[in-house]
Homo-oligomer: A and B are copies of this chain.
Amino acid sequence: MTITGEAIIGGVQERGAAGSFKAWDPTKRDYLEPSFHMVDAGQIDRACLLAGEAFDIFRATTDQQRATFLDTVAEQILAIGDELIERGMAESGLPRVRLEGERGRTVGQLRMFAELLREGSWVDARMDTALPERTPPRPSLRYRLIGVGPVAVFAASNFPLAFSVAGGDTASSFAAGCPVVLKAHSAHPGTSELVARAVTRAVQLCELPAGVFALLTGTGNGIGQALVGHPAIQAVGFTGSRSGGTALMAVAAARKQPIPVYAEMSSINPLFIMPNALAARATEIGKGFAASLTMGVGQFCTNPGLVLAVDGPGLDEFCAAATEALSSTQAAVMLNQGIADSYRKSVHALHTHEAITTLARVEHDEGKGGAALFRTSAEHFLSRHELHAEVFGPASVLVVCQSTDQLREVSELLEGQLTATLQIDEGDHDAAKTLLPVLERKVGRILANGFPTGVEVSTAMVHGGPFPATADGRSTSVGTGAIQRFLRPVCYQNLPEALLPEPLRNGNPLGIWRRKDGALTKE
């Protein structure tokens, strides 16, 4: 397929009317052909209006129809073939094996939501039987979840497939019956166009309204602000920086009708090494940590940017093992120039910080990331908030505490996080029990004896967490739970059977789990 550099609005490719830009190949350090054309205000408006018009038709499809649609999107993505991987590699600098894996994850996510729809209980059907004899009589009440309306999805830079055009936000929006107006990430516009054309073909094959999906291309903040401010948009999915996410939150809150924003933004993913585990497994933990930190050039949201350990047996071994492993890391190309520049600046700031000792630091050329590990004390860390900020890339700060009490004190000071990881042996369980309540308040996922990178796509996953990890700690952006972000309840009181939606009809024609007078049943 020839990449055209066009947006997709109303199912049709069209040239953006507001100037052009090119993608950058971070490996070759050169621009990629062709030019991409930025959409203007009128094009954004049209995409949103079409999404609004498509909503009632799209959400009126059966679960089976939307499941087929999601499966078709997956098939069409696979049908692009190797061109998708090659363009993705060129635009992101990510290796082939990673992008092939990510494609598998993307397709798997779409199919997972298809399965969720086929199972059917996502609709949370509830029925309270009428009690006509009661004083006052109780009416018949039936309840289901429906989509919130068109969703503006902002693709992430660090997952050009799985958190991008047909990533988790889009898949969960579609599953909920919500049209998607997608803002492509300007770092991988060609990859985005290829996937967007696959989605558009799936829309056509499934005979859905063209407004169900639109691709907007461009750079800068203007498109996002216009998109989130558009009256037809009813929710926002975003993965990116804290500044970008909070800017969209402000736009959404200032609307005449405020709308929910699900922004995944910032996390340093503390790794707690408890004393017994440290004494017993320091070298193993050090190596594992270094591997997690440098995986994908440290460009995962769940990268372990903070290590907390209690001074004592094993600490030196941990430092030595981590330092050795990190020092042998090969510097590698980062996703884009902005990320690499920011990483370089942050590492330099830590390296020269008066409260920091540098344990490991791999030098790197422009555009690349190396690896870095810094050390400080709990006292320093507690009083210096600049040390709490996320460094996007393979850099981490080890905070040495004097006791598990101090470790708990530090954890109380942390902002919201996607994950926290405990390295614990049985002798650490009592200390872990005092730490867990703090972590539950602070994070979305608590891991034991592993490392935070690697996010399973499944029913029980939480990829979320209190602000600023995400805009809304009541949600997850990965796993089946992600659909709940784009749903709201509607109750039907005494509505005639003929007018009731199928999931709420007498006799349970869909055979789904429903809550009848409070009790779950398939009756």
Contacts and interface: CB of A to CB of B under 8 A. Distances in A.
Contact of A445 (B441, B467, B490): B490
A136 interface: yes
A444 B491 contact: yes
A454 interface: yes
B260 A474 contact: yes
Contacts of A461: 128, 141, 143, 491
Nearest to A504: B460
A195 to B, nearest CB: 24
B253 A440 contact: no
A505 interface: no
Contact of A490 (B138, B426, B440, B468): B440
Contact of A139 (B450, B490, B515): B450
Contacts of A410: none
A233 interface: no
B517 A459 contact: yes
Contact of A488 (B448, B474, B498): B474
B518 A141 contact: no
Taking each of A445, A459, A476, A498, which has the highest tally of chain B beta carbons within 10 Å of its own beta carbon? A459
A142 B460 contact: yes
Interface stretch (A76-84, A119-127, A312-320): A119-127
B458 A128 contact: yes
Interface in A466-480: 466-468, 471-476, 480
Given A436-B499, A517-B459, A518-B480, A444 B490 contact: yes
Contacts of A115: 518
A467 B258 contact: yes
A496 B127 CA distance: 38
A471 B258 CA distance: 8
Interface in A487-505: 487-496, 498-499
A494 B258 contact: no
Interface string A118-159: 010100001110000000101101110010110000000000
A494 B448 contact: yes
Contacts of A475: 488-489
A70 interface: no
Taking each of A426, A436, A454, A456, which has the highest tally of chain B beta carbons within 10 Å of its own beta carbon? A456
Q: Describe A's contact surface by its main secondary structure.
A: mixed
Interface in A56-81: 56, 60
Contacts of A476: 489, 491
A443 interface: yes
- As for how many copies of this chain the complex holds, the number is 2
Given A258-B249, A459-B518, A498-B429, A446 B487 contact: no
A272 interface: no
Contacts of A424: 496
A39 interface: no
A40 to B, nearest CB: 27
A334 B57 CA distance: 45
A432 B495 CA distance: 11
Interface string A448-466: 1110001010111110101
Given A128-B458, A494-B450, A441 B257 contact: no
Contacts of A121: 520
Interface string A31-70: 0000000000000000000000001100010000000000
A466 to B, nearest CB: 7
A250 B139 CA distance: 37
A238 to B, nearest CB: 14
Contacts of A128: 456, 458-461
Taking each of A136, A426, A464, A493, which has the highest tally of chain B beta carbons within 10 Å of its own beta carbon? A493
A481 interface: yes
A98 to B, nearest CB: 13
A437 interface: yes
A163 interface: no
A110 to B, nearest CB: 16
Taking each of A146, A488, A491, which has the highest tally of chain B beta carbons within 10 Å of its own beta carbon? A491
A247 interface: no
Interface of A: 55-56, 60, 115-116, 119, 121, 126-128, 136, 138-139, 141-143, 146, 148-149, 249-250, 253, 257-258, 260, 415-416, 424, 426, 429, 432-433, 436-438, 440-441, 443-450, 454, 456, 458-462, 464, 466-468, 471-476, 480-481, 487-496, 498-499, 513, 515, 517-520
